[in-house]
Structure 1
Amino acid sequence: MTFALRVEAAGSMPAMYLRPWVEEDIPALTAECRDAAFRRGTGLALRDNDDAVRWLKTQQRGWEAGDRFSFAVLEPEEEGGFGTGGRLVAHVVLKTAAPTGPTAEVGYWTATRARGRGVAPRALKALTTWAFETFAADGLQRLELLHQVDNPASCRVAAKTGYEFVRVLPAHPPAFPAEGHLHVRTAG
């Protein structure tokens, strides 16, 4: 995979890069999904390797269809090493980026061991910049970020990356069992 977005090191935070998910990511993904705190915070429940392969294929189909652009976020194993390998620290995604639509949704999760290190804001900022630059000519004007109200960390990520709080969303079980927050960032 040659396409990657590089995020430079900043202060004590190491460099990282975003690139589409590949098969080599499956062991790190399944290991992350074994963590109970991770599953509670993300809702991503991959029980085994087969589940992870299906999830990966969904991400790849999204790229092919042009309606879901999902990135693994990695820190290089060695200084300056930006290849396909690295330590998985997060996931970011741009969803429903229809070429004719002015609105898309962003989402993300952070690996348990990488939480509290500024990974999510840096990765989301890179995704946001990429989305607006890549889809500006197609009319993309607005990105939405949604999270449950009981997730104050996501509110902090939204604020750090310029996504303004707009309103509280009602619960919509089973996919969204609790009320949520809608944050928005517009182009320019």
Structure 2
Amino acid sequence: MDDDPVTTTLSAGPLLLRPWLAEDVPALIEAYRDPAMRTMLRSQVTDEATAQRWLRVRQEGWESGSYFSFAVVDRDHGSEPVGNVALKYPAPGSDNAEVGYWTAAPARGRGIAPLALGALGDWAFETFAKDALMRLDLLHQVSNEASCRVAEKSGYGFAEVLPARPPWPLDGHRHARLRTGDL
């Protein structure tokens, strides 16, 4: 992985996807105050110390080439992050990887997640083409109907129901986006 976490940015319409920065801590803490996010996400950010740890894990992911997290900024509504998209890449040579996302409560319903996931998927397929990346998976709990809609709008077709297993108490859905053509 040659991308530098300080300089890798993506654009998708009014969205800028960029690495998380230290100055994003207040927006990150505010986003995690949302009860829905606390229910759906494994990581928890409750204060500046946990936000700093969260940012450190993302930076380490870039450095190791295993986890690529982008702050999503809606340039039409300011410069603070309103979401996150991430690619969890298991190992060079793997033909599949997992994507994840969240959108801060005030930014939901504006089409941010599908647009950001589309840009992330395009970047992933292009960046890891030499490693034969062919499939991206988006996982969510069956109770998260909004994520089903986001997956479909983002080109991730429903693939299967996954049985519940810790830390998730409910069954889940796996949606998949397949690489098509030469990028």
TM-score calculated relative to the size of structure 1: 0.88
Q: How high is the sequence identity, in percent, across the aligned residues?
A: 53
**SS in structure 2 at match of 1:137:** helix
Per the alignment, residue 3 of structure 1 pairs with: 8
Aligned to 2:50: 51
- Distance in structure 2 (CA, Å) of the matches to 1:86 and 1:32: 15
Find the aligned partners of 1:54 and 1:170 in 2 and give their Cα distance. 30
Tell me the equivalent position of 1:184. Answer: 176
What does the per-residue CA deviation read over 1:154-185, in whole Å, with 9 as the maximum and x for residues that have no partner? 11111111111111100002x21110001111
> Normalization by structure 2: what TM-score?
0.90
User: Are 2:160 and 1:155 equivalent residues in the alignment?
Assistant: no
Gaps in structure 2 of 5+ consecutive residues? 1-5
Residue aligning to 1:11: none
Residue deviations 1:53-93 (CA, integer Å, cap 9, x gap): 01110000000000000000012378xxxxxx812111000
Q: How does 1:100-119 map to 2 (within 5 A)?
A: 100-119=93-112
**Residues 15-164 of structure 1 aligned to structure 2 (within 5 Å):** 15-76=14-75, 86-164=79-157
Aligned partners of 1:145 and 1:157: how far apart in 2? 10
Contact conserved, 1:33 with 1:44, CA < 8 A, in 2? no
Q: Return the alpha-carbon distance in structure 2 between the equivalents of residues 183 and 77 of structure 1.
A: 29
What is the CA distance between 1:41 and its match in structure 2?
Answer: 3.2
Report the Cα offset of residue 42 of structure 1. Answer: 2.9
- SS of 1:109's equivalent in the other structure is strand
Counterpart amino acid of 1:49?
E
Secondary structure of residue in 1 paired with 2:147: helix
Corresponding residue SS for 2:131: coil
CA distance in 1: counterparts of 2:174 and 2:73, whole angstroms: 27
Contact 2:24 2:80 in 1 (8 A): no
